[in-house]
Amino acid sequence: MDIVSSGLLQRALLEVMVLGATCGALGVWLLHLRHTYAAESLAHAMLPGLVIAALVGAPLLLGAAGGVLAAAALIALAARDTRVGPEIAVGVTVTTAFGLGAMLATPDVPARLGELLFGDLLGTTTADLVAACGLGAVVGLALWAGHRPLAAAVFDPLAAPSLGVRPGRVELALLVLLALAVVAAVQGLGNLLVLALIVAPAAGALRLGRTIGMQIALAAALGALSGLIGLVASAELDLAAGASVALAAIVLWMLAALLGPRPPSPAGGTPRSLAETLSGG
């Protein structure tokens, strides 16, 4: 199949590369702030919103946004109970939301459930593409404008306030960006696979980049490359598009972890297990 000449694939390719680059760049800061769990949770907790949107025939983007907002409100509400705490609040909310979404989906829309979970890259419309590009611009601008507060909040949260940075606000802003990214990417990648493009390229870039700027650039490149490789492979080998992209991202990350430079370790000298090598820790 000639990918370049097919309009359908061209749109899908552009969409996945833009999303890959955006999610990759965002992922670098999410990993540094150790918010992978929040990323996964947000992505999963929006499922009821997506299912309801699919049931009533509303745009998925709207359902995703509603789902994220509802989940965020629930998490905030549950976390206010000090006996519960934030971690459990997230866990309970996400599981509830995901279960609710799955329950709502059967038996009326079982076919679309797969699409919601795993995305429909080949169904990318021009409007989706515009939304993805808009998101990419917003995330890029925000990361550029916020790189100093982000660095202070990650590196030294205790001293950050005396440096003029409020770590709580910085983290909240990043989570809002994350929610936007997940909402925009869910149409193409689905709410399970979007996480692969947020975590894997960034994890690889953390192993390869020596400065934060280099890490962000590398993560964006790895994300776009994952999209390219995954989509071409799926077209050539007739595999599911979203899953191929996710797998490509994971394979690139494993290559970075195994073939990249040894991460600097203060202790040094001790042999590292495969698990340690892959986790970069």
* Binding stretches for another protein (CB under 8 A): 32, 145-146, 148-149, 151-152, 154-156, 158-159, 161-165, 209-212, 214-215, 263-264, 266, 281
Tokens representing residue 186 in the block: 């869910």
CB of 261 to another protein, least distance (A): 12
Tell me whether residue 51 or residue 170 sits nearer to another protein (CB atom). 170
Tell me whether residue 2 or residue 210 sits nearer to another protein (CB atom). 210
CB of 281 to another protein, least distance (A): 8
Tell me whether residue 132 or residue 218 sits nearer to another protein (CB atom). 218
CB of 271 to another protein, least distance (A): 19
Tell me whether residue 114 or residue 146 sits nearer to another protein (CB atom). 146
Tell me whether residue 119 or residue 149 sits nearer to another protein (CB atom). 149
Tell me whether residue 57 or residue 266 sits nearer to another protein (CB atom). 266
CB of 55 to another protein, least distance (A): 43
CB of 247 to another protein, least distance (A): 27
CB of 113 to another protein, least distance (A): 39
- Three-state DSSP string of the chain: CCCCCCHHHHHHHHHHHHHHHHHHHHHHHHHHCCCHHHHHHHHHHCHHHHHHHHHHCCCHHHHHHHHHHHHHHHHHHHHCCCCCCHHHHHHHHHHHHHHHHHHHHCCCCHHHHHHHHHCCHHHCCHHHHHHHHHHHHHHHHHHHHCHHHHHHHHHCCCCHHHHCCCHHHHHHHHHHHHHHHHHHHHHHHHHHHHHHHHHHHHHHHHHHCCCHHHHHHHHHHHHHHHHHHHHHHHHHHCCCHHHHHHHHHHHHHHHHHHHCCCCCCCCCCCCCCHHHHHHCC
> 102, 58, 84, 66: which is closest to 192 by C-alpha?
102
